Amino acid sequence: MSPTDFDRFHAAVTTLAVEHDREMSVQQMEIWWAELRRYPIAAVEAALRHLLRTQRFFPKLAEILAAVEGNQKDRALAAWETVYALVKAGKSAEAASMPFDDDGIQTAVRRIGGWSRLRMMKEDEVPFRQKDFVTAYEGGGGGERVRRIGGGEGGRKGVKCLSD
């Protein structure tokens, strides 16, 4: 979130507090802002709406963070969407040196062969590369083996590369 998102954040938190007959102190609002501002406002709003509909009691910050972050598979799929959007936009060369808020992105990309290999990915390979990426991302720096991109497949005629 950016500082311009604070009003939306405040409104979403206030809605949750009103529904649970709670008053948010200025200090509590500042703590929540400090901890949640690293996430997109849309993700925070969605998590707060979800908690509003599903929680009988006013949630703790840890419960809100869990709702925003989702599970490891959700984070891996969200990271893949970031990677795939960059590859599809032809920005994989810049992405190799791009800092991400999530260090797991560059680690997973390296584990499946790097940005240059993703750039050569064919349309029909996308689901397989996504699976490889998610496996690498969920495995972190661990020793899981992941299929490398392009290993011996060669160019297939009539299949367009994403970077073409």
E-assigned strand segments in the chain: none
The whole-angstrom separation of Cα 111 and Cα 118 is 12
Q: What is the pLDDT of residue 46?
A: 87
pLDDT band at 5 (very low <50, low <70, confident <90, very high): very high
In angstroms and rounded to an integer, the radius of gyration of the C-alpha atoms of the chain is 20
What are the phi and psi torsion angles at 151 (to 5°)? -60, 95
Q: What is the mean pLDDT of the chain?
A: 84
Residues 164, 80, 67: CA angle, nearest 5 degrees: 155
pTM greater than 0.75 (yes/no): no
Q: Report the SS3 class of residue 159.
A: coil
Nearest to 105 by CA among 135, 82, 73: 82
Q: Where are the domains of the chain?
A: 3-69, 72-139
Report how far residue 9's alpha carbon sits from residue 42's, in angstroms, rounded to the nearest whole number: 9
What letter represents residue 67's amino acid? A
Name residue 35's amino acid. E
Q: pLDDT tens, 93-120?
A: 999 998 887 888 999 999 999 999 999 9
DSSP structure class, residue 142: S
